[in-house]
Amino acid sequence: MAQALPKLFAFEEFVVWLPENIEKRYELHDGIIVEMSQPSGKHENVFICV
């Protein structure tokens, strides 16, 4: 049985595909769209150093 290869996305295609105002997070890894889990605990915090 043959398995189909996943479609690889360019960054520009990913930006167009990326849904707006969603509760899920996605990243592009080597052309493959990957659903990411929500950060928790100290990983949620964003610090900006100037």
Rounded Cα distance, 32 and 6, in Å: 8
Q: What is the pLDDT of residues 17-42, one digit of tens each?
A: 888 767 788 899 999 999 888 777 77
pLDDT at 11 > cutoff 90: yes
Dihedral class, residue 17 (left if φ above 0, else alpha if ψ from -120 to 50, else beta)? alpha
pLDDT at 40: 75
- Answer with the residue of higher pLDDT: 31 or 44: 31
Name the pTM for this structure: 0.60
Q: Please state, in angstroms and as integers, the Cα–Cα distance from residue 31 to each residue in 5, 13, 19, 25, 40, following that order.
A: 12, 10, 17, 16, 26
DSSP state of 48: -
